[in-house]
Structure 1
Amino acid sequence: MDEAVRLALVKWPNVPSCTGWLRLSRRGEWRVPEGPIRHAGLNAFIGRNYQPTSDGRWFFQNGPQQVFVSLDYTPLILRLASAEQLETHTGLPANTVTEAWLDEDGSLLLGCEHGVALLNDRDLAAFCARLEGDLEKQDAPLSLHWAGKAVSVGRIMQAEVAARFGFVSEPSL
């Protein structure tokens, strides 16, 4: 969390939280009702001050105010920073993939040191070359080869993701 945000929390401790204003898209874009936030500095500020509550609601600490984030899918989105490096939508390197799942629409979810994350669909084709097994058969074993390791790929339904990984897609106050 930014030092200026910490100081604002001390100065104004009772500012009410808000919901329904900020959301995270499946491609890792911060969106407000008017559309995606394009300002690089604001995107970086939100990313540095984005975190979960103990009950799985994700928020952006905007000075003294918690702005709860609606999630189009998962609280983190991964993308390829290079051919061999993943990073979160907030710019954190994801060095370890420990788990992987395919949902019913072919979206790939990855477990990493930051938690569960949806792989940005723009990078899905690059990952298909790393999958081994028959994608067409629901019960066929699949594995993902990443960073010199093979990780088993499970199947999951989108409707089960939030509960399974302990986050809230539509937070309320």
Structure 2
Amino acid sequence: MDPIVEAALKKWPNVPHCYGWLALDARGDWYMRDERIQHAGPFPDVKGSRINHDKLRAFIERNYASDEAGCWFFQNGPQRVYVELEATPWIWRLQPDGRVLSHTGATAAVQSSWLDEAGRLYLLADLGLGLVHTADMGPAADAVEQGRWTPQEFRSDELPQRFGFVRRPSP
């Protein structure tokens, strides 16, 4: 967490949490969802405004964490902004050198792999469960064929409970 965020938390410890204003899609993109967008429909049916500003994305990603209930949030100074997840808390990007990086740029150590009924590949890593980015399914298939990963089958509706995360946090 950024030092400026930690200082703000100490200075203003009782700022109310924020829900519904930030979302993470299945490709690792962040979306702002103002009141108008929230009233227009649920995420991901109505996504909102994609955050393209590099420094804002980096700030969100440095201050991205989860609470004890498995709700993911961005600590924005003294305010905790809960994140709606289209799929999982992490989106994995496979690198040519074999490394697995999260959508935040953090390196992940893969522990197991999972395949859902739609053929989507998930990796359980030291950081938690994440979905493999659609653009990386070629290298992911290579990893499975080479025996690096042996996916276990499961139903996608079991994900949150099985792996301890909440897709749509609420007060």
Structure 1 and Structure 2 fold alike (TM over 0.5): yes
Q: In the TM superposition, what whole-angstrom CA distance separates every residue of 1:44-88 from its partner, at most 9, and x where no partner exists? A: 110110101001000000000000000001001110233412100
In structure 1, what is the equivalent of residue 14 of structure 2? Answer: 14
In structure 1, what is the equivalent of residue 37 of structure 2? Answer: none
- The AA in structure 2 aligned to 1:26 is A
- Give the TM-score normalised by the residue count of structure 1: 0.86
Instruction: Please point out which of 95, 98, 107 is paired with 2:120.
Output: 107
In structure 2, what is the equivalent of residue 65 of structure 1? Answer: 79
Specify the SS of the correspondent of 2:160: helix
Matched-pair identity in %: 44
Instruction: Please point out which of 133, 138, 154 is paired with 1:125.
Output: 138
Provide structure 2 residue ranges, at least 5 long, that are not aligned to the other structure: 34-47
In structure 1, what is the equivalent of residue 160 of structure 2? Answer: 162
Q: CA deviation at 1:119?
A: 0.5
Q: In the TM superposition, what whole-angstrom CA distance separates every residue of 1:79-127 from its partner, at most 9, and x where no partner exists? A: 0233412100111012x21100111111100011111111111101221
Equivalent pair of 2:29/2:50 in contact (CA under 8 Å):
yes
Q: In the TM superposition, what whole-angstrom CA distance separates every residue of 1:12-50 from its partner, at most 9, and x where no partner exists? A: 111110110101100111111342100111111101101
Distance in 2 separating the partners of 1:167 and 1:37: 23
Distance in 1 separating the partners of 2:57 and 2:85: 16
Q: Which 4+ stretches in 1 moved above 4 angstroms?
A: none
- The AA in structure 2 aligned to 1:157 is R
- The AA in structure 2 aligned to 1:29 is D
Distance in 2 separating the partners of 1:31 and 1:103: 25
Equivalent pair of 2:31/2:49 in contact (CA under 8 Å):
yes
CA-based RMSD of the aligned residues comes to 1.3
Distance in 2 separating the partners of 1:126 and 1:48: 27
Distance in 1 separating the partners of 2:51 and 2:19: 17
Which protein has the bigger helix share? 2
Equivalent residues in 2 for 1:3-152, closer than 5 Å: 3-33=3-33, 34-94=48-108, 96-132=109-145, 145=147, 150-152=148-150
Distance in 1 separating the partners of 2:107 and 2:134: 18
Distance in 1 separating the partners of 2:98 and 2:57: 24
- The AA in structure 2 aligned to 1:88 is S
Which protein has the bigger strand share? 1
